[in-house]
Amino acid sequence: MHPIDNDRQLAFAADARAALKELYLVSGAAAQLGASGLQVQDMQWQAIERAVRNASAVLRVRDGSGASDGSGASNGSESEAMKSLQRLSMLCDELLGRRAMGHVCPSTIWRDLARAGRDAYEQIDA
């Protein structure tokens, strides 16, 4: 591996971890409220939207370049972290879509979000 490729891989990994942490934190806070039947405030919804955009940007970069080392193969922990980030982002997108359509988000969706967040968080330092 070339030093430039290694630098790119490290930068990508740092961006991915930051996006995952941000999405985990904002979605986790909202999930706690939603699962308890409490209202999620507009500021929290906006934070989720922003975190989803950031996570989507990281996922697009990864998808656009294949693996972050440019070889077409990624290591297992990176792959699991990206899968976790993708699942968490997808669930947040689903919630945002339901909100935009004026649908109530049942507590089961909030619990799924909380579970996906915990699973994703485990991957941050894996």
Pick from 106, 104, 55: nearest CA to 63: 55
Give residue-wise pLDDT tens across range 21-49: 899 999 999 999 999 999 999 999 999 99
Please state the pTM of the whole predicted model.
0.78
Domain count, the chain: 1
Show the domain range for 57.
Answer: 3-68+78-124
Residue type, 72: G
Assess if residue 84 is contained within a domain.
yes
Assess if residue 8 is contained within a domain.
yes
Do the beta carbons of residue 44 and residue 29 sit within 8 Å? yes
Do the beta carbons of residue 78 and residue 68 sit within 8 Å? yes
Give residue-wise pLDDT tens across range 107-120: 999 999 999 999 88
Q: Looking at residue 4, what is its pLDDT?
A: 59
Does 11 score more than 80 pLDDT? Answer: no
Query: Where residue 14 sits, what CATH number does that domain have?
Result: 1.20.120
User: Per the structure block, which two tokens stand in for 49?
Assistant: 């939207």
Assess if residue 73 is contained within a domain.
no
